[in-house]
Chains A and B, each alone.
Chain A
Amino acid sequence: MIRLWLVLATLVAVAALILGVRANLRASRRSRRDAAPRWLQAVLLWLLPLPVLIATTVAMARGLLVPLLGNGLGYGLYLAGAWLIWRGLGAERVEPGRPRIRADWPLKTLGGGLIGLATGITAWLGSGHHPAIAAAFALMAWLGCWLFHGGDRRSNAGMHWLGRRDPSSRARSALVAAEQRIEAIEQASRQIAQPDLRDRLDRIGLLAREILILLEEDPGELPRARRVLGIYLEGVQRVVDRYATTHQRAALGPLDERFRQVLEQIETVFREQRDRLVRRDVMDLDVEIEVLTNQLKREGLI
């Protein structure tokens, strides 16, 4: 019976390996930023430990207390670890054209640790291995998770660790506030009927997100760039709000054209800002802030 189970497990493992490698090759060809395919991650996280759940039920039915506790605890830890890794992968998954700020907590590392612990406990109390062997299983499982799912891409700009906020948490708050403002702009732009205006707002949102990602990687530029983001994003939000309000009252004409001009200018400046951050050139940001502030004042938007 044991031999049959082992043969079955080997067959499943080999089949998953072949399919995974094939999908992995395709994924790496499709996109450099794509991690392992989502179905393979789901199989590894949610389906692979499923025999432990069955073993728990069998142990309960047969009245085996220690295996019942070991397997039950192990399966619970497997689920908790899988959930953390799943959340970690979701947080850093890049939607097409919509980069996101990275997660505060090292979810994948914590999840990998829980899966390692679950493997160790299951091997010790469920399979009856010596604790040292079980510890080796745990270490190898954690290493496997770390290698396969990758480490957490940690943010330098404000990291919360064990509930304490480090000195750059203000920077992190600024980035989160900017992201919330971008989301508000994107939500408002969906209600605008003019396709060209909507497309321009989408492009502005995308550029702003790219700037946020660049700032997160190099928080040294944040104090100056934060001013640009603050003024510009506030300007865009006001344009969108004002446009929505005035559009309900009457047909626009010259006003429509003014909105377009302001958004066009903001898009240009955002693009330049992004390019400068890529080149690490922020010398004339102050001049640009001044120019844009005057422009927005002239348009009555700030």
Chain B
Amino acid sequence: MPSFARRLIGLLLILTTVGVTAWQTLAVSCSSPVAAGGIPASASGSAP
């Protein structure tokens, strides 16, 4: 495999695995329904 193609595939793999995992983890952390103290938001009394 030519060196350029090998590096391009490697770059794509790193971006799609490390990049996606990192941003997805951040998104999951931000949108998690659990509030501070480990109490789910639905059980904290704000929801009916």
Report which A residues bind B (CB closer than 8 A): 1-2, 5-6, 8-9, 12-13, 16-17, 20-21, 24-25, 28, 36, 40, 44, 48-52, 54-55, 58-59, 61-65, 67, 71, 74, 78, 115, 119, 122-123, 126-128, 137, 140-141, 143-149
Contact = CB atoms under 8 A, between A and B. Distances in A.
Contact of A144 (B10, B22, B31): B10
Contacts of B38: 63-65
Contacts of B23: 5-6, 8-9, 51
A126 B21 contact: yes
Contact of A148 (B11, B19, B28, B32): B11
A144 B13 contact: yes
Contacts of B20: 9
A134 to B, nearest CB: 9
Interface of B: 3-4, 6-32, 34-38
Nearest to A3: B27
Contacts of B6: 147-148
Contacts of B17: 119, 137, 140-141, 144
Q: Is the interface of A mostly helix, strand, loop or mixed?
A: helix
Contacts of A51: 22-23, 25-26
A181 B30 CA distance: 57
A126 B22 CA distance: 9
B29 to A, nearest CB: 4
Q: Is the interface of B mostly helix, strand, loop or mixed?
A: helix
Contacts of B13: 140-141, 143-144, 147-148
11 contacts: A5-B23, A13-B16, A16-B15, A21-B8, A28-B3, A61-B36, A123-B25, A126-B28, A140-B17, A143-B13, A144-B10
A12 B19 CA distance: 9
9 shortest interchain CB distances as A-B pairs: A148-B10, A144-B13, A147-B10, A126-B25, A9-B23, A144-B14, A141-B17, A51-B22, A51-B26
Contact of B36 (A6, A62, A119, A145): A62
Contacts of A20: 11
Contact of B29 (A6, A25, A67): A67
B3 to A, nearest CB: 7
B29 A62 contact: yes
B21 A122 contact: yes
A145 B11 contact: no
Contacts of A63: 34-38
A20 B12 CA distance: 11
Nearest to B5: A147
A62 B34 contact: yes
Contacts of A5: 23, 26-27, 30
Contacts of A147: 6-7, 9-10, 13
